[in-house]
Structure 1
């Protein structure tokens, strides 16, 4: 029985796959070559259907996407937790944190633990980028959700009434795109130099790259123009070439077919 990936969409069957946390898990499953199927969920599904189930099983406060249902019916939630579970469960398949390593990879080894630590350090570096992207993404994703889910999204992200009103009013401010370009350019100088084609390793993509794809999808799923101006723009350094390499490695045609077009 294939693994089930519960992926967040604006509307089951037709809405965009927008979650920056779900995309890395999808890419991880594809890289591993693990058989899986997608179960689309909306915010009300997480809040009212899955929170009672996962709270009882996993002891979590609330259900969040992504989570997976394993072959034995048990669930694993949180993108990093799922990635670590995949490497532990399938050590003889593509390693998510040491993609250049000889297989199988011992997840208890010092090399593996250090690789995970490098990812966690890089993840902290990406916090500023996520905050900058959110200023463009937030008003656009809320406009695609039903009214109740939109209000829930604003509330769960901690926006006050005046702060949210200002964010909506300034969502087309060109300086926000320029800020993202500068941040991407700086990250490219630090991590995509010296012949490095990817973020996780020089020659093969891994979980850090998958997380960056997730961040880019916050914009790509909702505005092709904003994605071109940021992740594919010349002012974003080597990320334009990196984005092309990631598209070649993981076309995701079925997912991108639902992206909104300008």
Structure 2
């Protein structure tokens, strides 16, 4: 039976952009598992699999329905133990939870702030209105004000915040070591989100993080490049 992955898209159903969905997509590629992509918009998420939850990705594997990218990765390692491991054992799972927490508190907020209008612009009219209402309520100001000044001091500050990641990647090819693990897909997917929705560049040429990102784009037959840059 073919696995099915519900992924968030904008007006172009062939351009999934959610970082969380990309984590799941790369986890499946890591395992060498084929899947059927089922694109959904923001306003359709709540109806996925009869209202499984309020977020995607959602993976369907026969009768199994799994929501949340980390839960999907854990499920894949349990369900397909004969294929390459995403975590490398219990210790790897624990470290990966730290990586996810760091990424969602350091990289995600920054990207949301500098690409919020770009995300808005890839949506259709109905979803633009939905997205603007939700995000402006969360930020407490217009989207235009959120993204204003993205090339000023906060870009330099963001680049400095990547120094721990940069230092690690100067010593090893991937966050997971010599080979990629789910921890790599977590961080990669945040930058992939930006790559797909925006032309704004946050990584400088020659930065070890930029070099690592390019390596990740080439993984699994170039899965990351299957969706072109904005």
Class of the TM-score when normalised by the shorter of the 2 chains: 0.7 to 0.9
* Larger Rg computed on CA atoms: 1
The CA distance in 1 between the partners of 2:100 and 2:8, in whole Å, is 21
Q: Equivalent residue for 1:173?
A: 151
Alignment gaps of 5+ in structure 2: none
Go from structure 1 to structure 2 and tell me whether the alpha carbon gap of 1:23 and 1:219 turns closer, same or farther (over 3 Å shift): same
Counterpart pick for 2:83 among 93, 98, 101: 93
- Structure 1 segments, 4+ long, off by >6 Å, are none
Aligned 8 A contact 1:185 1:238 in 2: no
Aligned 8 A contact 2:21 2:69 in 1: yes
1:17 maps onto 2:7 in alignment: no
What's the offset of the Cα at 1:24?
0.9
1:150 maps onto 2:128 in alignment: yes
Alignment gaps of 5+ in structure 1: 56-61, 99-111
Go from structure 1 to structure 2 and tell me whether the alpha carbon gap of 1:161 and 1:244 turns closer, same or farther (over 3 Å shift): closer
**Aligned residues: CA RMSD:** 2.2
What's the offset of the Cα at 1:96?
0.3
- 1:239-258 alignment to 2 at 5 Å? 239-250=209-220, 251-252=222-223, 255-257=226-228
The CA distance in 1 between the partners of 2:82 and 2:203, in whole Å, is 33
Q: Equivalent residue for 1:199?
A: 175
Go from structure 1 to structure 2 and tell me whether the alpha carbon gap of 1:137 and 1:67 turns closer, same or farther (over 3 Å shift): same
SS in 1 for 2:23: helix
Q: Equivalent residue for 1:104?
A: none
Counterpart pick for 1:81 among 51, 71, 76: 71
Count the aligned residue pairs: 227
Counterpart pick for 2:205 among 215, 233, 252: 233
1:215 maps onto 2:190 in alignment: yes
Q: Equivalent residue for 1:164?
A: 143
Aligned 8 A contact 1:7 1:41 in 2: yes
1:48-101 CA distances to partner (integer Å, 9 max, x unpaired)?
Answer: x327x134xxxxxx331101111x233111000000000000111100011xxx
Q: Equivalent residue for 1:41?
A: 40
Go from structure 1 to structure 2 and tell me whether the alpha carbon gap of 1:75 and 1:41 turns closer, same or farther (over 3 Å shift): same
What's the offset of the Cα at 1:172?
4.2
What's the offset of the Cα at 1:219?
1.2
The CA distance in 2 between the partners of 1:34 and 1:76, in whole Å, is 16
TM-score by length of 2: 0.88
The CA distance in 2 between the partners of 1:148 and 1:161, in whole Å, is 21
What's the offset of the Cα at 1:39?
1.2
TM-score by length of 1: 0.78
Aligned 8 A contact 2:31 2:84 in 1: yes
What's the offset of the Cα at 1:205?
0.3
Aligned 8 A contact 2:58 2:67 in 1: yes
SS in 1 for 2:66: strand
